[in-house]
Structure formats: structure tokens, C-alpha cells
Amino acid sequence: MPIFLNQIRDIYNIPTYLNRLGELSIEDNNVVLNYSSSASTINTSIGAGLTIQDGDGIDSDVTFRIGALNTLSDNELNISEYVDNKGYKNLGFFTELNDIVLSNSDTGTTDGVRVIKEKDIINGGTINNETPCSESNRNIKFLVKSSTIEGSKPEVADLLPGELMINVCDGILYTLKGKPDSYEVIKFNGLTIQEPVTPEEPVTPEEPVTPEEPLYYNQNKTLTLPEGDSQKWHYPAYGLYDYSHTMYIIRSSELGEGTKLISGLEIEVAGYSSYIYENQTIKLAHTSDLEFGSSVKVDLTNINNVTNITTVKSEFDFNATGSGYKEVDFDTNFRYNGTDSLLIIWENRDGDWDSGFGYAVSHFDNEYASSWYQYSDNSYPSAYGTKDQSYRPNFKIKY
């Protein structure tokens, strides 16, 4: 039957089974069991709680057993651990104290106080309903062993199935592989298990390497093409008409070896008073032709293998005033491939002729038809033009 403290009026009236433990005192909100029979009040401020003090010097020290749970069922305990066919062990107790200090006075045995059962540390259980390895019940083993000695590695006898050993110095992890009586130690290096190496798959031949594109760069040079002193009124644009379209071919033999990043040109003019061609456009391209053939039109009809047409300068005003070489710096550089002829296309879309126009100082060469022109009033020309058998303006090429 439960006994409540408010039922106790006289300490000597406590039932015999309690009285034999010693004295029951209530001091400063403390319940003290087996307190010193001197009735001293020195230790009256040890804080609210339950204090068990022993040391009466009579026979053996008092033992204190908490919470025998062997009467509870599996469902109530949510466990299934039956020991020696004798029922369940005492499994623990509940407390709300901030700290619990437990110690084992006998250091010569592995039996003692445990917060987590040993097998929960070294054996996390099995999968696929396998039977746990009996060796996992060996006393006092750790999940991970360690060594700080370089080159140190475990033997089979040093490890349990599923147990790990790490060499901190080498950064290598060891464990067991195999079955009972045939275990071997294997190691993990980083995340790669060191087992027999599987032959590598045949290496697929690399695809042929595409040749690199030729190197183009600005060399800050100016190439002067063959010069003459002839006067040609049609070039670079025909100022007597509202519109004109002129083209020029420069052969690779004239441009020298190698690729070039063409950044501008200069053309020599003379005979101009104050004169500006408005709305001019220059285009460059490659062609396989060495000269202009018959029946060539503004739209490049009958010019062979024209490629890489590039507008290098568009809708600009060309100041032809005075005499000498007039420079035109391109807005877009042209990559000359070093092999084909260079085609220069000059479009004059001024739309209004004016007096005071002059001419291009030109080179005479009756071997190639290196120039071509067409012109008209009121609208831009589109018909067949005229190839010039003998003359081409004096040019300088900047690259």
C-alpha cells in the first residue's frame, strides 16, 4: 500500500521494512533517505530533489534498485530481448535531473554501467532477415578502430564482420570481406575500393583533328601596289553621274604570301576641287578570277567563285578634295586568305552629281582587265558594265 508523507506523524511509527533502512527526514524541501541519525541540519540546502545517502557503517552498504520492468510485455516495452529463458532484465529508469553520474567501481570486468548497449554500437543489425553474426556479441568492441602510425594495417583477428579500422596518417579505411574462416582484410582509398582492377575498355580512336583556322592579325603594314600616272575619270566613283558602281581585282601575286587582316586602303586621286562623295560603301571578297571576264553585271554575275563578301565600310562620305592618296579606314576588317584574288567593290550612292570632280591616278597594264565600271543617273545601275583592259587606280593596302 502506498505511504504518503502527510500520513507520517512520528518517524518511529514508520513500518519496519522502511525503518530498517535508517531515518526518513524532510528538510528544506528535500527528502533524505538513510540520512545520518544525528539529525544534523548542516546539509539542509542541497536543493529540491531526492538524495540517497549511505554510510551507516552497519553491515553492507545499502543497495538501491530502480524500476524493475521484467513484468512488462513485449508490446509495452517495444522490444524483443529474452534472456536465458528467465524473463526480461531491468532496462532502466526515468529521471528529470539535469545530470546523471554513474560509475563502475570494478574496473576489472566489462560488466558495468552502459547507456547504450554494446551490441548497438558494433552491430547495426542485418538486412534481408539474415541471422546476425554470433561474433558480433564479443564484449567491448568499437565500431571504428584507428591508428596514427604510418603504414599500420589490421589483421583479420583485429576486426569483426562489419567493423572498420581507419589509418588516420594514411587516410585509408579497412574492413573484412568474405565468410567465416575465409575473411580477408580489404581497404578503401578515399571512396574507391582497392580490389582487382577490371581491364579498361578499348580506347576509342580520336576523330581527326580539324586544321586550325589560319592566323589573322594586324601587322601595321601598308602594301603599295603597282603605280602609274594615267588619269581615269571613272574611278574610284564617276562624279559626272548620280550613281556609279566600280570593281577592282588584285591578284595574290601582287599581295604577297600569307594571310592578311586588311584594315583599310588608300587610293590616289587628283583634279578635284572641293568635292565630297556622299553615301559610299566598300565591300571586299575573294574570287578565283585573275581579271574581269565578259558579261559581268553589278550583281557579280559571271565573276567566278566569289566568297566571303564583307561590307568593310558603309554609307560614309569620301572627301576627294585635292590630290594625293586618300585614306579609308575600315569599320570591319577583312580576312584575306593568302590564296585567291582580292575583289574590291565600290558603291557610289550619292544620288546627285556635282561639278568639280576629278580622277583616279592609275596604273597601266594591258595584260589583265583589272577594273570594271557602270554608272547611271536617277537610279542605281544594275546592267552589264565595262571591263577596263588597261587601267587600275593606284592602291595601297593596309594590314
**Structural domain contains residue 78:** no
C-alpha cell at 314: 558603309
Quick one: 250 and 159 in the same domain?
no
Q: Is residue 375 very low, low, confident or very high in pLDDT (cuts 50, 70, 90)?
A: very high
Edge-to-edge strands of the sheet including 341-348?
Answer: 307-319, 276-287, 341-348, 243-250, 371-376, 386-388
Quick one: 184 and 226 in the same domain?
no
**Structural domain contains residue 300:** yes
Q: What are phi and psi for residue 357, nearest 5 degrees?
A: -75, 155
How do beta strands 192-193 and 184-189 pair?
A: antiparallel
pTM of the entire structure? Answer: 0.49
Quick one: 382 and 259 in the same domain?
yes
**Structural domain contains residue 101:** no
Most confident of the ranges 40-44, 98-102, 387-391: 387-391
Quick one: 260 and 179 in the same domain?
no
Quick one: 317 and 376 in the same domain?
yes
Structural domains counted in the chain: 3
C-alpha cell at 336: 584575306
What pLDDT, on the 0 to 100 scale, is given for residue 193? 47
**Residue 24 pLDDT exceeds 60:** no
**Structural domain contains residue 231:** yes
Residue 61 per-residue DSSP state: P
**Residue 246 pLDDT exceeds 70:** yes
**Structural domain contains residue 74:** no
Measure the CA–CA gap between 122 and 124, rounded to whole angstroms: 7
Q: What is the CATH number of the domain that holds 248?
A: 2.60.120
Question: How many residues would you count in the chain?
Answer: 399
Q: Is residue 39 very low, low, confident or very high in pLDDT (cuts 50, 70, 90)?
A: very low
Quick one: 246 and 360 in the same domain?
yes
**Structural domain contains residue 127:** no
Measure the CA–CA gap between 37 and 244, rounded to whole angstroms: 131
**Residue 47 pLDDT exceeds 80:** no
Average pLDDT of the residues of the chain: 74
**Residue 192 pLDDT exceeds 70:** no
Which percentage of the chain shows pLDDT scores above 70?
60
Quick one: 164 and 299 in the same domain?
no
**Residue 55 pLDDT exceeds 60:** no
Measure the CA–CA gap between 81 and 121, rounded to whole angstroms: 17
Quick one: 238 and 336 in the same domain?
yes
Quick one: 28 and 174 in the same domain?
no
Question: Domain ends where: 50, 66, 82?
Answer: 66
Quick one: 170 and 229 in the same domain?
no
**Structural domain contains residue 341:** yes
**Mean local confidence (pLDDT), 62-73:** 42
Domain range holding 169? 145-188
**Mean local confidence (pLDDT), 178-184:** 86
**Residue 270 pLDDT exceeds 60:** yes
Quick one: 375 and 257 in the same domain?
yes
Q: Is residue 291 very low, low, confident or very high in pLDDT (cuts 50, 70, 90)?
A: very high
**Structural domain contains residue 134:** no
Q: Comparing 197-206, 254-263, 278-287, which segment has the lowest mean pLDDT? A: 197-206
